[in-house]
Every structure is written in C-alpha cells, then in structure tokens.
C-alpha cells in the first residue's frame, strides 16, 4: 500500500538537547491517524531521539550512511550502526550530499543496497538544478538519477524504497515547485517505475515532494494524486510548522 509520509530532515541543526526537546514536542503532537511521520536527525541524536518516541506513527531516520559496511573509514557511520539506534529510514542522495560531497549515482546505488540489506528503508532523493529545468532537461535528469540509483534493484527491494523529488532550486530558497510542477514530475516518476517494475509496484511507491514545503503550501501540494507527502527541511526545525505540514493531509 502506498503510504502518506512526512519526513523532517533536520540537516546539521540542533544540539543534542535541542533535538531531544523538538522530538518530544513532535511526539506529543503526532496523532496515530495513518500519516507516517519520520524524524531524520543528525547521527549523534538518533539513539536519544529514539528513546522519546512513543507514538506508533512516529519513526526515526538518518540523513546519510557510509558506502562501506565496516572497517577503517574514519568518521563514517554504517547502516548497521544506524539500524542499531532504532532507526528505520535513511535519506540517500540528498542534493547537498550530491553537490557538496560529490556523491555520484554509483555510490548512491551502493548505499541504497546496503541500507536495504540492513533492513533500513531508503528515502532516495532526486531532483534537477535550476539550469537543468531552464534548459527543459529536468525530466531527463531525474530519470537518469532514478535509473542509475535504483533500477538494478529486485522488484522486492524496489518496493521498499521511498522516492523524494526535490528540485534543487526549491530547497531552502522559499520558492517551492508549483503544485502542477510537482504533480507533473511525480506522475512521470510513477510512469517510469511502472515501465520498469509494473503498475502495481508503481502504484504502491510513495513519492514525496521536497523543497520549501511549509504549512501554507503543503495542503495544495499533497492534494495532487501522485504526491504522497513531503521531505521537509527548514520547516521541520519548528514543531508547530512541522505539525502544520503533517496535518495538511
Ligand atoms: P527545505 O529543504 O524544506 O528547507 O527547502 C528540503 C530538503 O532539503 O529536504
């Protein structure tokens, strides 16, 4: 079944104490009403935040994982370590990872497979930069990211993946994709998945929108037939904004 999901991506924000406080407030306010709410915190917050989660609909996720399983990789955090904190999700291929840390499709494909093998649900990000949209290349760019990142997965594994479409020009800019732009891309992604894995898998794939999503635009974005929720950056750092988005469903 396709799930409705709102995931907060805290990025590199909040001290441990601030993060725990935010998680407590969100945990208090989340209603178990069918929307899956995920907090993607910095690595060091995961275990403590897991301890404050009591709601059935509230889950924990990491923002990245290592592309190796264990060993001499100073500063890296493996999928098994993430899983051992109580996390069930991991964001893979966020545009900030792709651009600042030069993570390419092959590496993201490897991370996705490691996450799945560890029993984590990947939230696989894709999205074009402004110049690509202006050149009318956005469909092609996203198609390539998804094909290279995901399309050698078995149907069983692919069925576990959540996709997040995040146009890079909309991330942290205050300029969200319009409802029509989001729906157009999400529909195209679902059709691409259907061509590869069949309509049933495509219909069951949750495709989230990310990029300047806020309480004031979430309702309109989420009303689209192919938008199954959001990946929320800035607005996830404040419980009332975040819950305003969760409650937009
Ligand atoms: P934003 O970030 O909501 O602050 O635009 C979204 C994201 O990067 O996941």
Domain of 230, CATH number, reads 3.20.20.70
Beta bridge partners of 188: none
Q: Decide: 233 in ligand 1 pocket, CB within 6 A.
A: yes
Atom of ligand 1 nearest to the CA of 213: 3
| CB crowding 106-118: b at 16 or more within 10 Å, else e | ebbbbbbbbbbeb
pLDDT of residue 100: 98
**88: annotated active-site residue:** no
How far does the centroid of ligand 1 lie from the alpha carbon of residue 187, in Å?
A: 21
Q: Which residues contact 111 (CB under 8 A, 6 or more apart)?
A: 65, 66, 67, 79, 92, 93, 103, 122
Closest atom, ligand 1, to C-alpha of 91: 9
138 catalytic? Reply is no
245 lines ligand 1 (CB under 6 A): no
64 lines ligand 1 (CB under 6 A): no
Contact in structure between 193 and 149 (CB atoms under 8 Å): no
Please tell me the predicted confidence (pLDDT) of residue 28. Answer: 98
Supply the range of the domain harboring residue 227: 4-246
Please tell me the total count of domains within the chain. Answer: 1
Report the pLDDT value the prediction gives residue 1, as an integer from 0 to 100.
Answer: 78
- The answer to whether 112 and 153 are in contact (CB under 8 A) is yes
Are 235 and 214 spatial neighbours (Cβ–Cβ below 8 Å)? yes
Q: Which of 166, 216, 242 has the most ligand 1 atoms within 8 A of CB, as the residue to mutate?
A: 166
Q: For ligand 1, what atom is nearest to the CA of residue 170?
A: 5
> How far apart are the C-alpha atoms of 163 and 161, rounded to whole Å?
6
d(CA 117, ligand 1 centre) in Å: 27
Evaluate whether 6 touches 232 at the Cβ level (below 8 Å).
yes
Strands (E), the chain: 4-9, 35-40, 58-62, 89-92, 121-126, 162-165, 207-210, 229-232
Query: pLDDT averaged over consecutive 10-residue blocks of the chain (249 residues)?
Result: 95 98 98 95 98 98 98 98 98 98 98 98 98 97 98 98 97 94 98 98 98 97 98 98 96
Mutate to test the pocket of ligand 1, among 130, 215, 234 (most ligand atoms within 8 A of CB): 234
**CA–CA separation, 56 and 58 (whole Å):** 6
Q: How far is the CA of 198 from the centre of ligand 1 (A)?
A: 30
User: From the candidates 96, 103, 128, 166, which is the catalytic residue?
Assistant: 166
Q: Which of 94, 103, 132, 186 is catalytic?
A: 94
Question: Ligand 1: which atom is nearest the Cα of residue 176?
Answer: 5
């Amino acid at each position: 079944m396709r799930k409705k999901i709102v995931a907060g991506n805290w990025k590199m924000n909040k001290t441990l104490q601030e993060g725990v406080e935010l998680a407590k407030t969100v945990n208090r306010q989340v209603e178990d009403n069918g929307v899956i709410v995920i907090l993607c915190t910095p690595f060091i917050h995961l275990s403590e935040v897991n301890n404050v989660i009591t709601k059935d609909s509230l889950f924990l996720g990491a923002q990245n994982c290592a592309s190796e399983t264990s060993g001499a990789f100073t500063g890296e955090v493996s999928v098994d370590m993430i899983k051992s904190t109580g996390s069930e999700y991991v964001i893979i291929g966020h545009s900030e990872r792709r651009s600042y840390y030069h993570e390419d499709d092959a590496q993201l494909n490897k991370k996705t497979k490691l996450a799945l093998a560890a029993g984590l649900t990947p939230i696989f990000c894709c999205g074009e930069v402004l110049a690509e949209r202006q050149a009318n290349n956005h469909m092609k760019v996203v198609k390539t990211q998804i094909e290279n990142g995901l399309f050698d997965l078995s149907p069983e594994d692919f069925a576990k993946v959540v996709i997040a479409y995040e146009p890079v020009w909309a991330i942290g800019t205050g300029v969200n994709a319009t409802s029509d732009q989001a729906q157009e891309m999400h529909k195209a992604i679902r059709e691409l998945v259907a061509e590869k894995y069949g309509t049933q898998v495509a219909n069951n794939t949750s495709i989230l929108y990310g990029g300047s999503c806020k309480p004031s635009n979430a309702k309109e974005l989420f009303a689209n037939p192919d938008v199954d929720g959001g990946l929320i950056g800035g607005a996830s750092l404040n419980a009332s904004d975040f819950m305003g988005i969760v409650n937009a469903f």
